[in-house]
Each structure stands twice: as structure tokens, then as C-alpha cells.
Structure 1
Amino acid sequence: MALTNSYLTSTKNLESIINSVINAKAPDRFTNKFLEDLGYKSSNDRLVVGMFKALGLLDDSGQPLQRYYEFLDQTQTGKILAIGIEEAYGDLFNLRKDAQNMSNDEVKNKLKTLTQGQKSDKVIGLMAMTFRAFCDLADWSEETEIQGSSENTAVQNERNDFAGFEKRGSKVPKTDMNLHYNIQIHLPETTNMAVYDAIFQSLKKHLL
């Protein structure tokens, strides 16, 4: 079951904790003491340790994993959070691929179904609140960037195909795009008609 049982009882310090963590040196082990040293001594704040484990940032003993070090890169923090959330709440994303856009009430209803009534309404509410809080801090734009990159790659491939065609003098490659090529032929100045005949025979062979 890809649905973490970890949750926070308060999310008011969540963004502040994350900011403090990514600006601090990675500890050998992420413990309650480490959080206290960062200024977070509340028992509510300590529950972040369990969530970091659920998000794949820490192992069961609290030792930072590779994802934790990637998380410290502030240009990637939001994206790493999104990846961890999708794994920790995989069952939610199986029900709806854009689960990060669900309202708090929608999340609660889905969680009730997924937990088959084994969780109290209070716990369901806290789980939904935690999910929404982390989603709001994550960066979900990666899919759009990948799609844009794919489109750019397709256009570049078309350009490369055409460049190769110009060099090889071969037939225009078949593509899924409806493109029209305008080809200009610059004929050499000559009085030898055999040269022109050879050129047009080659064009007929390769283009028509």
C-alpha cells in the first residue's frame, strides 16, 4: 500500500522548518536533537522526522539518503518534494493523477476510501492537512517543462532530418508533421546542355 501513515498535527511551522533544513549542513542523522538545534522544540515539529522518512529523504534510522542531498539544492527542493509526495501518497495519485490539485475535502474523502474506515475522522483530517501542506510547498511544473522539452526536441529532429536531406540529396523523410519544403536550385552557368540534363535527371531520381 503506497500511502504513508505519517502525518503532522500542525503545519504552521512546516515551511519554516524546510527553509531551516535546506540552509543547514546535512547531519549524520536527522534527529529530534537536530531539529531542536534549528530552533524547533515542539513535539508537533518532531513529527516532521517521520514525514521526511516517508518522503524518502531519510532512512529508518534517520540517516540522510541521496534524495536528502538533492533536496538541499534550493533550485530543486520543490521538485524533490513533489517526487517524494507522489511516492508517499502513491495510492492517491493512482486515483487521480493530479491529486496535488484536490481540495482538502476531496483528499479527506479519498483517504477515507483508501483507509477503509480504519482511521478516525480526526486522523483523516490531519493526514489530509499534511498532504495539502506539503503539496503547496512542492514544485509541480516538471511535467510541463518535460513536455515543452519534448516538443522542442521534435522540432529540432525535423530540422536535423532536413539538414541531412540537403546533404545527401535523398528523398524527403516521412514525418508526422505536416511540413512543406521549398527547395531552390541554383544552376551553374554553362553552355553545355548535358550538365543541365544530368541535374534534372538527378532531381527526378531523388525527389519525384
Structure 2
Amino acid sequence: MALPKSYLTSTKNLAALLEAMKTAQAPNTFNLKFLEGLGFPSSNDRLVVGVLVALGFLSQDKKPTDRYFRFLDQTQSAVVLAEGIREAYDDLFKVNTSAQKLSRSEVINKFKTLSQGQLSESVLDKMALTFSELVKLADFETKAATTLTEPSEIVAPDTEVQRSESRSPSSSRSLGGLHYNIQIILPESRDPKVYDALFRSLKEHIL
């Protein structure tokens, strides 16, 4: 059963506690001393440590994970929290992909089914309370921010062409966003007909 074994017996400080986490430097270990330093010394508040482990914010040895650090970005906190909830309550979301929209009584019934009657009514109620309060603080609609990089303009490199002593006309053309410089080396000739033929061909096929 992919449902967290950790839950809160009271959620009155949950929002404030998560907010305090976002404004504090991440600890080396999220222990009771750190929790008390945030201003939450109550025994009820201590249960949040197990919930944070279930959400993937802390490792089993209570050290902040990558998800914890991403949560500290206040523009992404609610989205990251939703990510952790989906992972922690995976079985519930398999039953209902929009489980965050279920009422508390509906969540209790789903938990009862998923646990196959192994959990007491009291535990089911507190589990549902914890889930329902967490989803209120999460953003399940917004996707995690991604940076899209616009492709840079491709410019064809200039091709070095050896120039002869004779003059060589050039033409500039654009095709599909690519810029080409075309250079023609004129032959050594004193016959004007040769040049007339070359310029006529150039005008017909290039210019």
C-alpha cells in the first residue's frame, strides 16, 4: 500500500510551519532542535518530520533532499508540494487521478478501501485530515517551470574564395533563412561576347 504511515494529529500549524521552512536556511539535519528554532516546539508539530520524509522532502536520516531545496524557491513551492503529495499518496491517485479534489469523507473511504480495513477509524480520519490540509497548500494545476531556449539564427559562414587579378562580380541571395554570398571568377578573355554570355546567364539563373 503506497500510503504514508505518517500523519498529523493537528494541522492548525501546518501552513505556518511550511512557510517558516521556505524562509529559513535548510539545515544539515531536520531535527527537533531545528523545528523548535522555527518556532514550533509542540509535540504535535514534531509529527511533521515523518510527513516530510513521506513527501520526499527529507531522506530517511532526516537530511534535506533535492525536493526540499526546490521547495525553498517560493515561486515553485506549491508545485513542488503537489509533486511530493502525488508521490506519497500514489495509490490514492491511481484510484482517482484528481484525488486532490476529493472531500475529506471521500478520502477516508478511499483510504479504508486501500488499507483493506487494516486501519482504525481514528487513524483513517487523521490520515485524511493530513492529506486534505496538504492539498490546500499545493498547486496541482501549474506545471513546473521550464526554460525554453529559442534557436539562434543560423548564418552560413563566408567561404573564402581566392580572388584573381580580374574583377569578379558577386551576388547575395537568401534561402530558407540562410544567407549565401556567390562569387564568380571571370575567365581571362578579351572577347566581349564571352562576358555578355556570362552576365546574361547570371541574370537568368541567379539575380
TM-score, scaled to structure 2: 0.70
Aligned to 1:119: 119
Greater Cα radius of gyration, structure 1 or 2:
2
Aligned to 2:46: 46
Task: Give the residue type in structure 2 aligned to 1:71.
Answer: F
Alignment length (residue pairs)? 159
Change in Cα spacing, 1:145 to 1:68, as seen in structure 2 (3 Å) is closer
Aligned to 1:4: 4
Map 1:103-182 → 2, pairs under 5 A: 103-142=103-142, 167=176
Aligned to 2:63: 63
Task: Give the residue type in structure 2 aligned to 1:18.
Answer: L
Distance in 1 (CA, whole Å) between partners of 2:49 and 2:61 is 10
Shift in Å, 1:142: 2.2
- Indicate the SS of the match to 2:47: helix
Shift in Å, 1:145: 9.0
Aligned to 1:31: 31
Q: Which runs of 5+ in 1 are unaligned?
A: 147-165, 169-194, 196-208
CA contact 2:76–2:144 (8 Å) conserved in 1: no
Aligned to 1:14: 14
CA contact 2:8–2:48 (8 Å) conserved in 1: yes
| Runs of 4+ deviating beyond 2 Å | 142-146
TM-score, scaled to structure 1: 0.69
1:95 counterpart = 2:67: no
Change in Cα spacing, 1:130 to 1:110, as seen in structure 2 (3 Å) is same
CA contact 2:7–2:51 (8 Å) conserved in 1: yes
Distance in 1 (CA, whole Å) between partners of 2:58 and 2:29 is 8
CA contact 2:52–2:58 (8 Å) conserved in 1: yes
Task: Give the residue type in structure 1 aligned to 2:64.
Answer: P
Distance in 1 (CA, whole Å) between partners of 2:61 and 2:145 is 35
Q: Deviation per CA, 1:75-99: give whole Å up to 9, x if none.
A: 1110010000000000000000000
Distance in 1 (CA, whole Å) between partners of 2:92 and 2:141 is 19
Q: Deviation per CA, 1:7-66: give whole Å up to 9, x if none.
A: 000000000000111100100000111111111011100001000000001001110011
Please identify which structure carries the higher helix content. Answer: 1
Distance in 1 (CA, whole Å) between partners of 2:32 and 2:10 is 16
Backbone CA RMSD of aligned residues: 2.7
Distance in 1 (CA, whole Å) between partners of 2:132 and 2:59 is 23
Distance in 2 (CA, whole Å) between partners of 1:144 and 1:13 is 26
Identity among equivalent pairs (%): 51
Distance in 2 (CA, whole Å) between partners of 1:22 and 1:134 is 15
Q: Which runs of 5+ in 2 are unaligned?
A: 147-174, 178-203
Distance in 1 (CA, whole Å) between partners of 2:102 and 2:6 is 19
